[in-house]
């Protein structure tokens, strides 16, 4: 039985993860990867997130990223490694994280005792992360921890995000939700990304989206209509996916303890408020 308050791990994840993922919306990432010769935003994303694996092919990225069209992945991978090596990409990624966090949080927060505390807490949580059946986490766990506290915090946030993300994919698979069905059902919760942005960034066509919607309706998970909306059964299934993800991701937060989780959540929310106020997340990704 968990010693944490209900959904404490999810609340902590929701406070810390955006400080990892904001990098993928940052112009600083495109600028750093542009210096290496990258131009296409999809190539930037695939190279940045997959670099910890080394020079892998499209199959590894398709399997571990889950909801991207395999044709889009194959368009860029393994070609990205002819532009720059994974080591070069990782270096550029860390420079972009540094620039992004300094711009979004400001030098006072970057140099604060609170940032150093957040880094210590997040890294302590990662001590209980496990690599089995978690390929993206395992690859990132082999990377060195940066010396500067704000980058150590970003690194730990990355590990916690990929640890939970790998578990979430297992939960989606167990629920029988394929890549596009996962996107449609998540959007239907009212918490997903804008459909137009999903299709363009994930490489799917509108016909793929409609076919997945039809499959979900046949299963009794989606109501009829143009705008995706879940039935009671669909709502229950998505809740089951999130609860299963929580269970598989609980160990790092149990290790940190209730007090530590509460404090890391508090710090993450404070940082997130400042970052959001400074434009960390574009409206086209989050709007409906």
Q: For residue range 166-225, what is the model confidence (pLDDT) as tens digits? A: 999 999 999 999 999 999 999 999 988 889 999 999 999 999 999 999 999 999 999 988
Residue 9 CA: distances (Å) to CA of 16, 57, 183, 237, 269: 11, 33, 23, 20, 14
Contact 249, 13 (CB under 8 A): yes
Inter-CA distances, 154 with 110, 123, 138, 161, 278, Å: 11, 10, 16, 10, 18
R_g of the chain computed on alpha carbons: 19
92: exposed, middle or buried (Cβ count in 10 Å: 0-12, 13-18, 19+) = buried
Phi first, then psi: give them for residue 147, nearest 5 degrees.
-75, -40
Helix-strand-coil split of the chain, %, nearest 5: 75, 0, 25
CA distance linking residue 112 with residue 115, whole number of Å? 5
CB neighbours of residue 11 within 10 Å: 18
85 close to 10: Cβ distance less than 8 angstroms: no
pLDDT for the residue numbered 191: 87
pLDDT at 269 over 90: yes
Q: Across the chain, what does the average pLDDT equal?
A: 95
Angle at 101 between CA 95 and CA 107, to 5 degrees: 110
Question: Among 63-77, 127-141, 165-179, 266-280, where is mean pLDDT lowest?
Answer: 266-280
Tell me: pLDDT of 279 over 50.
yes
């Amino acid at each position: 039985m968990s010693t944490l308050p209900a959904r404490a791990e999810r609340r902590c994840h929701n406070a810390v993860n955006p400080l990892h993922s904001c990098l993928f919306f940052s112009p600083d990432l495109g600028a750093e990867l542009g210096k290496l010769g990258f131009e296409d935003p999809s190539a930037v994303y695939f190279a940045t997130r997959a670099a910890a694996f080394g020079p892998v092919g499209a199959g590894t990225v398709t399997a571990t990223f889950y909801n991207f069209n395999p044709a889009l992945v194959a368009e860029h991978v393994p070609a990205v490694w002819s532009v720059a090596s994974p080591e070069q990409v990782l270096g550029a990624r860390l420079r972009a994280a540094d620039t992004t966090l300094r711009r979004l949080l400001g030098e006072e927060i970057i140099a604060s005792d609170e940032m150093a505390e957040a880094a210590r807490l997040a890294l302590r949580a990662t001590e209980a992360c496990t690599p089995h059946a978690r390929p993206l986490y395992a690859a990132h766990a082999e990377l060195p921890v940066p010396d500067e506290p704000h980058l150590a915090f970003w690194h730990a946030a990355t590990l916690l995000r990929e640890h939970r993300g790998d578990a979430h994919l297992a939960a989606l698979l167990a629920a029988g939700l394929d890549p596009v069905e996962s996107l449609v059902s998540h959007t239907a919760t009212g918490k997903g990304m804008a459909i137009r942005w999903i299709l363009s960034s994930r490489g799917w066509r509108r016909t793929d989206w409609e076919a997945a919607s039809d499959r979900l309706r046949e299963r009794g998970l989606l109501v009829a209509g143009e705008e995706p909306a879940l039935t009671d059964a669909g709502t229950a299934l998505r809740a089951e996916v999130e609860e299963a993800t929580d269970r598989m991701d609980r160990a790092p937060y149990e290790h940190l303890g209730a007090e530590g989780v509460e404090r890391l959540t508090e710090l993450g929310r404070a940082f997130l408020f400042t970052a959001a106020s400074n434009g960390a997340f574009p409206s086209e990704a989050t709007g409906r």
